[in-house]
């Protein structure tokens, strides 16, 4: 047996021993305790833990707030644990399901928000299979025969499509890439973008409790600027503001070795100017993201098509000739290594714009999609800025840093 296999086996035996010991603790236990039968979890998948409360505490609730952070400390990511049993045998000992954040890889510490001393070290190094799983990637199993789909109540599931699994449960999250790159020509310029999304209804709020599908409603915001650094006054050539309101849920195909998400909603885009330079559009859009894993190291191919219909384009009535009604995004690589992305857009008259990004991590981080990456960007064609949607530019090469990719 290899050394790594011995280490894994030892870790699992230790975790199993802790779980067995936890299950047999007497009622006089003095503190909170977290335990798991398997320390291995899969990013983006479900995992299972046991929570044991002190004897003088109240019965454990159906949901618990928790946090996942690096072993050395840090702010971490807030998640929610959902009870696996409808009615536990012991009200102070209960099994819970959680969903490990997709962007979190490597070893991390799980702790309870209300009892920070209850901590559990877990290893999120496995590759997602696309099927909901418990710790170690095994399929979710009934706990004493009383599973009531607790993990499915953590986030919305489309009632119209069978086999769906919850969308990411975190309220504040990443939306589109965030970067700062410099280069270009005629004149030299910097291009930068920041973006976020916010889930409007909390899991345990009145609206979400009565209408579970409301948990999939998000507000998104993306801002992209081109900064002219070659001119004396260094003005901003153009800035695009894109607020959106959309609904998102995840589709599951256990046999695909990957996953898919679907989002639909409204998006406004404008550059905040007046006079002849003003530009704005309003659209209804439909976007899906498909991801398929190619090997055990986590290499994957992603496909992100997006289509839209215009509600308003008065400031630029011929924009369909240059932007069209759809775009195609492609991703190839690994979250912890080299990543290549491409964005292809084509107008009704054959006018096109192409953006290609290459990024590589400067340091290893447990947040696979977040950190510091050296970033190279290429753009050619129409629509580098909203103001110049009908202007074609020569190839623009820029290099810099990205923080979310």
Within a domain: residue 158? no
Closest by alpha carbon to 227, among 196, 195, 182? 182
**Cβ neighbours of residue 288 closer than 8 Å, sequence gap 6 or more:** 260, 261, 262, 263, 304, 305
Same domain, 315 and 275: yes
Report the alpha-carbon distance of residue 276 to residue 195 in Å, rounded.
Answer: 27
For residue 27, the domain's CATH number is 2.60.40
Which of 153, 176, 195 is the last residue in one of the domains?
153
Within a domain: residue 159? no
**Cβ neighbours of residue 57 closer than 8 Å, sequence gap 6 or more:** 92
pTM equals: 0.63
Mean pLDDT of all residues in 183-199: 91
Same domain, 145 and 182: no
pLDDT at 149: 36
- Condensed to tens digits (0 to 9), the pLDDT of residues 238-278 reads 999 999 999 988 776 544 567 788 999 999 999 999 888 99
Same domain, 244 and 301: yes
What's 177's DSSP letter?
Answer: -
Within a domain: residue 28? yes
CA dihedral 58, 60, 61, 63 (to 10 degrees): 140
- Condensed to tens digits (0 to 9), the pLDDT of residues 137-188 reads 333 333 333 333 333 333 333 333 333 333 444 577 889 999 999 998 888 9
Same domain, 100 and 190: no
Same domain, 90 and 199: no
Within a domain: residue 62? yes
Within a domain: residue 316? yes
For residue 291, the domain's CATH number is 2.40.230.10
**Cβ neighbours of residue 360 closer than 8 Å, sequence gap 6 or more:** 337, 338, 339, 373, 374
Is residue 152 a contact partner of residue 80, using CB atoms and an 8 Å limit? no
Report the alpha-carbon distance of residue 63 to residue 119 in Å, rounded.
Answer: 17
Report the alpha-carbon distance of residue 271 to residue 263 in Å, rounded.
Answer: 24
Question: In the predicted model, is pLDDT for residue 310 greater than 80?
Answer: yes
Number of domains in the chain: 2
**Complete DSSP assignment for 24-92:** T--TT--S-EEE-S-SB--TTSEEEEEEE--TTSPPPPSEEEEEEE-TT----EEEEEEESBSS-SBTT
**Cβ neighbours of residue 244 closer than 8 Å, sequence gap 6 or more:** 219, 220, 221, 222, 265, 266, 267, 268, 285
Which of 153, 185, 213 is the last residue in one of the domains?
153
Domain that holds residue 281: 164-404
Question: In the predicted model, is pLDDT for residue 318 greater than 90?
Answer: yes
């Amino acid at each position: 047996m290899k050394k790594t296999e011995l280490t894994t086996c030892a870790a699992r035996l230790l975790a199993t021993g802790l779980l067995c010991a936890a299950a047999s603790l007497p009622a006089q236990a003095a503190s909170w305790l977290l335990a798991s039968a398997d320390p291995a979890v899969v990013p983006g998948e479900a995992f299972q833990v046991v929570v044991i409360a002190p004897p003088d505490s109240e019965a454990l609730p159906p949901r618990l707030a928790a946090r996942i952070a690096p072993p050395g400390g840090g702010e971490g990511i807030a998640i929610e644990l959902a009870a696996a049993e409808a009615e536990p045998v012991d009200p102070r000992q209960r099994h819970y399901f959680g969903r490990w954040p997709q962007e979190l890889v490597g070893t991390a510490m799980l702790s309870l928000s209300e009892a920070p001393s209850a901590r559990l070290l877990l290893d999120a190094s496995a590759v997602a299979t696309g099927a909901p799983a418990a710790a170690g990637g095994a399929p979710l199993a009934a706990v004493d025969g009383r599973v009531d789909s607790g993990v499915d109540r953590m986030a919305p599931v489309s009632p119209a499509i069978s086999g769906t699994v919850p969308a990411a449960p975190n309220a504040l999250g990443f939306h589109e890439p965030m970067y700062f790159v410099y280069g270009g020509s005629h004149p030299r310029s910097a291009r930068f973008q920041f973006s976020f999304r916010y889930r409007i209804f909390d899991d345990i709020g009145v609206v979400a409790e009565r209408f579970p599908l409301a948990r999939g409603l998000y507000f998104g915001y993306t801002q992209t600027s081109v900064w002219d650094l070659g001119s004396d006054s260094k003005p901003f050539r153009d800035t695009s503001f894109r607020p959106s309101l959309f609904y998102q849920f995840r589709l599951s195909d256990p046999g695909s070795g990957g996953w898919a998400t679907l989002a639909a909603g409204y998006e406004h885009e404008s550059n905040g100017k007046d006079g002849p330079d003003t530009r704005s559009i309003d659209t209804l859009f439909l976007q899906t993201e498909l991801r398929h894993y190619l090997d055990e190291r986590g290499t994957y191919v992603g496909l992100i098509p997006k289509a839209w219909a215009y509600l308003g384009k008065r400031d630029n009535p011929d924009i369909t000739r240059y932007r069209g009604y759809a775009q195609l995004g492609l991703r190839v690589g690994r979250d912890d290594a080299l990543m290549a992305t491409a964005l292809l857009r084509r107008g009704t008259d054959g006018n096109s714009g192409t953006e290609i990004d290459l990024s590589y991590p400067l340091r290893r981080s447990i947040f696979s999609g977040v950190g510091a990456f050296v970033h190279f960007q290429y753009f050619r064609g129409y629509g580098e800025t909203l103001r110049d949607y009908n202007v074609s530019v020569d190839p623009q090469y820029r290099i810099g840093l990205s923080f979310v990719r």
